[in-house]
Amino acid sequence: MGVIFLFYGVGKFIAGLTNFVGGMNQRFAGKLPAAMVMPFAYVLPFCEVTSGLLILLGLFTRVGLTISGLLLIGLTFGTVMLGDAPTVAHNLQYAMVNFVLLWLVDLNRYSLDGLFNRRPAAGFIPTKGSGL
């Protein structure tokens, strides 16, 4: 999930942020006001890269997954307005995966969060002499 968000965000920067924003504005012309599309388009690549890195590194994973979930809500809204049913279906699949990852974030032991917190995984109770 982190790789997907990270590389989609980086791709937008490589192609040129102004080119991306202009393309989004043209794509949504007549469907959504430019005052709504353009700020979202400018913020989108930054949020994608940020959430992708956080999820991939496992650092502030809950924050990264929350950002990606909010992005998926906005992206799904836009694709619904365009009437692009296949993309809406894909976005909903990503949203479901995002939900499951957020739901199970406390089990994320093999991450920077897990390394810094050094607490036992959810569901495991340390016993005396177990080293935990």
130 in a structural domain: no
128 in a structural domain: no
125 in a structural domain: no
Average per-residue pLDDT in the chain? 91
Q: pLDDT, tens digit, for every residue of 50-91?
A: 999 999 999 999 999 999 999 999 999 999 999 999 999 999
* Residues with Cβ within 8 Å of residue 132, at least 6 apart in sequence: 120, 124, 126
Average pLDDT over residues 24-29: 96
Indicate the pLDDT class of residue 132, thresholds 50, 70 and 90. low
Domain span including residue 6: 2-117
131 in a structural domain: no
Into how many domains does the chain fold?
Answer: 1
Q: Report the C-alpha gap between 50 and 16 in whole angstroms.
A: 18
Residue with tokens 């906005």: 74
Q: What is the pLDDT of residue 108?
A: 85
For residue 132, count other CB atoms closer than 10 A to its CB: 12
132 in a structural domain: no
19 in a structural domain: yes
108 in a structural domain: yes
Indicate the pLDDT class of residue 3, thresholds 50, 70 and 90. very high
* pTM of structure: 0.84
